[in-house]
Amino acid sequence: MPSPTYELYYWPGIQGRGEFVRLVLEDAGADYVDIGRQPGGDKRIMAALKGELAPFVFAPPFLRCGDLILAQTANITRFLGERHDLAPADEAGRLAAATIALTIADLVDEVHDTHHPISVADVYEHQRDAAAQRSRTFRDKRLPRFLGYLERTLAANGDWLAGTAASYVDLAAFQIVEGLRYAFRHAFAKQQCPKLVALRDRVAARPRLAAYLASDRRLPFNEHGIFRRYPELDPE
């Protein structure tokens, strides 16, 4: 039976956490509808937030697959990866991939908190001083630790982060490199992570993903998503 058409619920106009899901859908060649970019999509997302899809969903992204409803980025990408041959085949490999995906999710949260260290309900401009302090710690201590972890994992496993072929966690690592090169280009340039950069290049060369990256479906980074370019938070 053919795979159903997936419905991705995420905010329009930004990459955000939804982009990690889009990358897997695109690389898998899966049919999907990006609900937020459809007419009336914002109303459908708000209805989902009120429990229309399922009572347990909290915040986008959500994914609908037939009668299945999934939330949380790492959970969704694992589901898609295992369903579309973008995950290790053995249990140990699948668990390792899930562990890496959850660690990357932690990194994404820390990137977000560099520009919203006090409250997500308030604008960046009202928390600049705290953001400067948080970003300094992120650049000096947290970023090297996370990237060092990914670099060591690649050194131990080979070309890919988990298993012997590309998986959803490699696509997530690609997005991390792209986002950091946008938001923290100076800090990222100082890191020693050649294996991670090489992984990024291998992922970018995958035919379906390359076509997506060159299309207008791939939105540019901007100062409304997770990866934001504030020069004062990333001095040379």
Contact 14, 69 (CB under 8 A): no
For 78-99, the pLDDT digits (tens) are 999 999 999 999 999 999 999 9
Instruction: Determine the pLDDT at residue 3.
Output: 60
pLDDT exceeds cutoff 90 at 4: no
For 95-115, the pLDDT digits (tens) are 999 999 999 999 999 999 999
For 23-52, the pLDDT digits (tens) are 999 999 999 999 999 999 999 999 999 999
For 59-82, the pLDDT digits (tens) are 999 999 999 999 999 999 999 999
Within a 10 A sphere around the Cβ of 206, how many other Cβ atoms?
18
Q: What's the domain range around 50?
A: 6-83
Task: Give percent helix, percent strand, percent coil of the chain, each to the nearest 5.
Answer: 55, 5, 35
141 with 165, same domain? yes
131 with 37, same domain? no
Is 102 a domain residue? yes
Contact 175, 23 (CB under 8 A): yes
78 with 110, same domain? no
70 with 98, same domain? no
Instruction: Determine the pLDDT at residue 1.
Output: 37
Whole-angstrom CA distances from 163 to 2, 82, 91, 101, 126 are 26, 12, 10, 14, 45
